[in-house]
């Protein structure tokens, strides 16, 4: 039995959860999210908490037990607080500017790299530090996916550390060429 799945999801007063035959809908102050679930789990709604239980003790049902509890918990957190990832651009001449809802990067290539941001997520450039990109939204999966796609445009390289990285990410540096002795 999943340790995570056993825990109930506490619902704040400003969040509304509705469970139908195979979908869970969560509405909150920041928006609404919906997920479809398999009939391997039984999701019940009591006063102010959601409980997820496996229907039987098969391996697949037990794995879905913890998964759906985590997904519902992330949905509740998303519609109340939202999610945010911060990316940092390092390198001489590396910069980003926002054009409409899209981002345009100068990353040392012969051409600017354009990235179209998904509608469910917003990407902003920090006003104080122009090399910080803030990706935010209510869906944890979409925020992480967009941040990973932006990072993959120019991953940090191990010699000088130039590229796009998460704020606080530690890049293991390699030594360059050694002088012959």
List the chain domain ranges: 3-80, 83-166
Task: Quick: pLDDT tens for 143-162.
Answer: 999 999 999 999 999 998 89
Nearest to 135 by CA among 167, 171, 163, 109: 167
Fold of 3-80: Outer Surface Protein A; domain 3 (3.90.930)
Tell how far CA 40 is from the center of its chain.
26
pLDDT (0 to 100) of residue 179:
56
| CA 69 and chain centroid, separation | 17
Q: What is the CATH number of domain 83-166?
A: 3.90.930.12
List of residues 6+ apart from 30 with CB closer than 8 A: 78, 79, 80, 81, 82, 138
> pLDDT, tens digit, for every residue of 59-117?
888 888 889 999 999 999 999 999 999 999 998 989 999 998 899 999 999 999 999 99
pLDDT computed for residue 127 by the predictor: 84
pLDDT over 80 at 180, yes or no: no
3-80 and 83-166 have identical folds: yes
- Total-model pTM: 0.88
Q: Which two tokens stand for residue 97?
A: 């500017």
What pLDDT is recorded for position 176? 81
pLDDT tens digits along 161-171: 899 999 998 99
Phi-psi region of 114 (alpha: psi -120 to 50; beta: other; left: phi over 0): beta
Contact, 95 vs 87, CB < 8 A? Answer: no
pLDDT at 178 over 80: no
């Amino acid at each position: 039995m999943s340790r995570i799945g056993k825990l109930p999801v506490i619902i704040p007063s400003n969040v509304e959860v509705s469970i139908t035959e195979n979908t869970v809908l969560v509405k909150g102050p920041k928006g609404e999210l919906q997920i479809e679930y398999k009939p391997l789990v039984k999701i019940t709604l009591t006063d102010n908490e959601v409980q997820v239980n496996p229907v039987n003790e098969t391996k697949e049902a037990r794995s879905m037990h913890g998964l759906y509890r985590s997904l519902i918990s992330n949905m509740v957190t998303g519609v109340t607080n939202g999610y945010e990832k911060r990316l940092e651009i390092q390198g001489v001449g590396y910069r980003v500017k926002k054009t409409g809802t899209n981002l345009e990067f100068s990353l040392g290539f012969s051409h600017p790299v354009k990235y179209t941001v998904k509608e469910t997520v917003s990407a902003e450039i920090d006003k104080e530090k122009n090399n910080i990109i803030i990706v935010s939204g209510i869906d944890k999966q979409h925020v992480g996916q967009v941040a990973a796609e932006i990072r993959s445009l120019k991953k940090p390289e191990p010699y000088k550390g130039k590229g796009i990285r998460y704020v606080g990410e530690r890049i293991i540096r390699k030594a360059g060429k050694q002088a012959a002795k």
